[in-house]
Structure 1
């Protein structure tokens, strides 16, 4: 399994090339103007790193040491990014991140892989400031019944090939059920269904 994780990390960027042509302007719009203390969950190979500006102080979590090694080559000089080899369930985070301390949490193509999504969302609510925001770009479950059935059938194999990625999660609905409030959202399709959104933890005034 470790061998496959290494191969997966080495091929990930080339596999994502076509999709990233679509994601590039989205990532830039979501991330480039952010300032303050930011947690990026599942930073992968560091695809988002180029978008952070000099006023962003970023803690980048990545449980795969192979992905993390690739990301370090992309660390820009302009941004303050600290990489950490740990997942969202790691107990060390309880002492690293104080409640109500984060301005933003960034999740891009990662909530599909987190084993306990609800646990992660609960932590996000605790860690974000009352003015904080959760920013996501994720693929989600299909909306029509035939496609949902297909996604469910494909998911077991998809999860193995995708290193823990689940294609059939209603991540958009899960975040809303967890109590986050939509500030903006957009659904789109690029082979599979995608969702980008900005959420707040308290009603906007």
Structure 2
């Protein structure tokens, strides 16, 4: 398993090259002007790192040590980014992140892999300030019924190949069900169905 995780991390950026042509401007739009205390959940290979400005104080957590190793090569000198080899439901985070301390939580292409979304969302609400915001850029379950059936059929295989990624999560609905309020949202398609949004607590 570790061998595959290492291989997956080594090939991830090249696999994502085409789709990132679409996602990179969105990443920049969502996080480029953020200031204050920020948690990036599942920072992967550090794709977002270049977009943070000098006034952003970022805690970046990533459960894959192989992904984290790749991300460290992308740490810009002008930003304040601290990385941890942790997942979002790891109890050790409570010693790093205080309640009501975060201005923003960033989730980009990660909520598809988190084993317990509800626990993660509860942690988000606990850690965010009353004025804090949850910012997401995620692929979600297909919006059209025939494609939803296909995603459900393919998902067991996809989850193995994608190192825990689920094709068939209605993450857009799960966040709302958890009690977050939509400030802005946008749906778009690029091979998969995508969702970008900003939520308040």
Q: TM-score, normalised by structure 1?
A: 0.97
2: CA distance between counterparts of 1:177 and 1:41? Answer: 20
Question: 1:132 is matched with which residue?
Answer: 132
Tell me the number of residue pairs that the alignment of Structure 1 and Structure 2 aligns: 201
Q: Secondary structure of the equivalent of 1:184?
A: strand
Question: Structure 1, residues 164-196: CA drift from partner, whole Å, max 9, x if none?
Answer: 000000000000000000000000000110000
The 5 Å alignment of 1:81-96 reads 81-96=81-96
Question: 2:73 is matched with which residue?
Answer: 73
**Structure 1 residue 89: deviation in Å?**
1.4
Gapped runs of 5+ residues in structure 1?
none
2: CA distance between counterparts of 1:144 and 1:45? Answer: 31
Gapped runs of 5+ residues in structure 2?
none
Q: TM-score, normalised by structure 2?
A: 0.99
Root mean square deviation of aligned Cα: 0.4
Q: Secondary structure of the equivalent of 1:25?
A: helix
1: CA distance between counterparts of 2:186 and 2:130? Answer: 24
Question: 2:200 is matched with which residue?
Answer: 200
The 5 Å alignment of 1:93-108 reads 93-108=93-108
2: CA distance between counterparts of 1:120 and 1:180? Answer: 13
**Structure 1 residue 145: deviation in Å?**
1.3
Q: Which runs of 4+ in 1 moved over 3 A?
A: none
2: CA distance between counterparts of 1:87 and 1:196? Answer: 22
